[in-house]
Structure 1
């Protein structure tokens, strides 16, 4: 990997503009992004309700890397590299499950739920099981949400934990369940998928279903230009003691914002998708709490539901998008919510965004592509994301290059 070349691409970017072509389609840059960005960042990996009992696990992938998240007998949620310490076989296939222990399907090496090796048949007498436990992944839980980081020295997490606990706790995600989920393959670089998801410049024309409830005309970072309904909403949130922000650091942001006047949720008709509330203050009329993590996710929590979006890179021109819809665990499918329609309008929005991102990739691959300027009013979060990417990528390269631009010895 030629880090000096990648640094040259980063340095050639004009301030306020999209990225040079190679940063969107070069296989070497893609490999760099996996290590410098995804392996060094906090990622939103799932929800505690998905591993609600001891022995429950969820298996996911971060790019090509399999990760296992398990709730132990002590109730603690832990993350591990999903790779047997014998010959590296994947221990649990992608998805959810439950088991009293973790058993490798290859040679039956067996691990306790805390990752320690329990048994390994036919190994010599001097074999030390304590040296062969599963390799841990840094794992944090905040208000019912699971976060992981694959780095040896993860970014500081304390401010995120404190501020997100305060704003998200009223939504009671510890008592949620996944009502619906879907996975989409988007034939576009992960950065183009994220750029599309960080702005609503395109929403009015491309998302007619979402536009009924989502304030697609708001400027900057949910700026309503002094609109009366927005002022009233802010005052109500203060009265309800619901923290609204905005809060954040360079790698995350969160804010509670009002939906369009008269709308209670981001559904097809603006009415709650479920009769059972997750956040009870104000009778569920609390707008949406949006929070987003660079490099891959965003979520919206309304009074009765949560929508989660995650983008994981597969190849230079392919990204796997996972979407989940959560409701209160006591909500009954077919009684309190309709499992056939709860995914709208976000399902349609995801399909529309997939088509936009793929079309964007085709255009970026053109011989005539030249990076263009972002709108400082309509694409402020896109600019924030791209600036963050460039800064994080440059910092990684700085840490690897010597004073004369040569790689430090491994």
Structure 2
């Protein structure tokens, strides 16, 4: 659906031709406004993006209003309980209908001229229009949506990429975590003055974790490679066998734009937390007494999620400008967990908050260095940065496909 700004695809294509295999990107792809416009059109306009969880729309009339770059989107739960997504743009003169955030409303009402839409996107009322006006032709423009095991994914393209394989695997791996029975306990937005790809490269590797994240390193296996590969670590191999016996999928699986795996935390740890212990007494998965490691999935171009027995954490990096990225963190617990009794919000968010702040400093420093006249694309570590390289390879593949399709004529 996205048409986007006019870009010189030939010039952008030349940048991708410069990229050496196994290396980071040419400087202009991290710095230039034209590259940002390209990324929005070619990547974010053509990909499945995780918007959140179904539990954020708990009843009919619930809505989420969010931005994908500069594009407003609204997600609703209609009177029948169906979750839908629309471009948040009035069919009258284009005003944004729902302010950013979430809430509950019986109708979607444009603040400009009060055009009113039902939760299914159909136009309910439009005052002072002539007798030939047909309301049925002016409903909100739909956005492709997939709800998978309690998660919500949207895609702005008229021809979304295939999702069947991801849907099947995420359904299998997420089932034990009962995400439909979760609730959003806290949400934060962090502004990072760095290109979104630098933010994501940082989030796809733990080469920096042992020194960059001392708090996370207490519970998180920062020394493992790729999909948290265990090698011949007897404790981790035993964990994998135990998960298999419990019927909890753990084998790493992946597609072109996604990865899923369950992995063991550090010895004695049952959650990704400051002390390695559960952050909520009310567990989302009580198998093995809540000692089930972390089930992680990652979806390019923008997110990852960690699900432990007690809570789930979602990380989403959304581009705003060439050197500005908004990182959203969402923490979920069991819907019946009582704040102040079963969990403490400050303790719940502490570890990922400090980790995100440390990553913000690393990404912003990375951007300053990439801006240098002396910047030259460098090689990824084949032992420690395989997922970062995988992300960059995905980005280049997706970009080249877009150029091949749209660069003719």
Tell me if structure 1 keeps the 8 A contact 2:148–2:167.
Answer: yes
TM-score w.r.t. the length of structure 1 is: 0.97
Residue of structure 2 equivalent to 1:184: 190
Residue of structure 1 equivalent to 2:51: 45
* Equivalent-residue separation in structure 1 for 2:407 and 2:66 (angstroms): 32
* Equivalent-residue separation in structure 2 for 1:111 and 1:394 (angstroms): 39
* Equivalent-residue separation in structure 2 for 1:179 and 1:335 (angstroms): 13
Residue of structure 2 aligned with 1:2, choices 1, 4, 8: 8
Tell me if structure 2 keeps the 8 A contact 1:291–1:300.
Answer: yes
* Equivalent-residue separation in structure 1 for 2:89 and 2:387 (angstroms): 36
* Equivalent-residue separation in structure 2 for 1:186 and 1:219 (angstroms): 26
* Equivalent-residue separation in structure 1 for 2:166 and 2:221 (angstroms): 26
Residue of structure 1 equivalent to 2:120: 114
* Equivalent-residue separation in structure 2 for 1:118 and 1:225 (angstroms): 60
Structure 2 residue 94 is the aligned partner of structure 1 residue 88: yes
Tell me if structure 2 keeps the 8 A contact 1:265–1:273.
Answer: yes
Which runs of 5 or more structure 1 residues have no equivalent in the other structure?
403-407
Residue of structure 1 equivalent to 2:307: 301
Structure 2 residue 19 is the aligned partner of structure 1 residue 17: no
Residue of structure 2 equivalent to 1:348: 354
Tell me if structure 1 keeps the 8 A contact 2:43–2:301.
Answer: yes
* Equivalent-residue separation in structure 2 for 1:199 and 1:329 (angstroms): 32
SS of 1:226's equivalent?
Answer: coil
Give 1:247 shift: 1.4
SS of 1:388's equivalent?
Answer: helix
* Equivalent-residue separation in structure 2 for 1:158 and 1:339 (angstroms): 36
Give 1:370 shift: 0.4
Give 1:344 shift: 2.0
TM-score w.r.t. the length of structure 2 is: 0.98
* Equivalent-residue separation in structure 1 for 2:250 and 2:101 (angstroms): 34
Give 1:221 shift: 2.4
Tell me if structure 2 keeps the 8 A contact 1:80–1:137.
Answer: yes
Aligned ranges 1:237-386 → 2 under 5 Å: 237-386=243-392
Tell me if structure 2 keeps the 8 A contact 1:213–1:267.
Answer: yes
RMSD: 0.7
Structure 2 residue 401 is the aligned partner of structure 1 residue 395: yes
* Equivalent-residue separation in structure 1 for 2:316 and 2:70 (angstroms): 15
User: Structure 1 runs of 4+ off > 6 angstroms?
Assistant: none
Tell me if structure 1 keeps the 8 A contact 2:227–2:252.
Answer: no
Give 1:401 shift: 2.2
Aligned ranges 1:153-164 → 2 under 5 Å: 153-164=159-170
* Equivalent-residue separation in structure 2 for 1:381 and 1:106 (angstroms): 46
Kindly provide the CA deviation profile for residues 93-120 of structure 1, in whole angstroms up to 9, marking residues without a partner as x: 1111101111111111111110000110
Tell me if structure 2 keeps the 8 A contact 1:67–1:80.
Answer: yes
* Equivalent-residue separation in structure 1 for 2:383 and 2:114 (angstroms): 57
Tell me if structure 2 keeps the 8 A contact 1:220–1:376.
Answer: no
Residue of structure 1 equivalent to 2:3: none
Tell me if structure 1 keeps the 8 A contact 2:219–2:276.
Answer: yes
Which runs of 5 or more structure 2 residues have no equivalent in the other structure?
1-6
Kindly provide the CA deviation profile for residues 260-282 of structure 1, in whole angstroms up to 9, marking residues without a partner as x: 01100010000000000101211
Residue of structure 2 equivalent to 1:134: 140
Give 1:178 shift: 1.0
